[in-house]
Amino acid sequence: MALDVLSIPAMSAEPERLFSSAKITITDRRNRLGIETIEAIECLKLWLGKDSTVSFA
């Protein structure tokens, strides 16, 4: 049983996607956004769709 559980490779695709998305959100011009604002923007991006971008300009 231990071999069955321990032989499953760990997947890190979802956290990598989240960090990539946050990297797009946090730019040189938006470096002072609070954690609540960043979280709200990321949630909006997920709710609006995969290819959506949120622009406040």
The answer to whether residue 20 sits within a structural domain is no
Radius of gyration of the chain (CA): 16
Residue 55 is assigned to a structural domain of this protein? yes
| Of the candidates 23, 15, 17, 7, the residue with the CA atom closest to the CA atom of residue 50 | 17
Helix (DSSP H) and strand (DSSP E) numbers for the chain: 3, 0
Number of domains forming the structure of the chain: 1
Average the pLDDT over 18-36 and give the result: 85
The verdict on residue 3 lying in a domain is no
CB atoms within 10 A of CB 41: 19
Average pLDDT, the chain: 75
**Residue 38 belongs to some domain of the structure:** yes
25 within domain boundaries: no
Q: Which amino acid is present at 45?
A: K
Mean pLDDT throughout 26-44?
88
For 36, the domain range is 30-57
- The confidence score (pLDDT) of residue 28 equals 86
Judge whether 36 and 43 are in contact, CB under 8 Å.
no
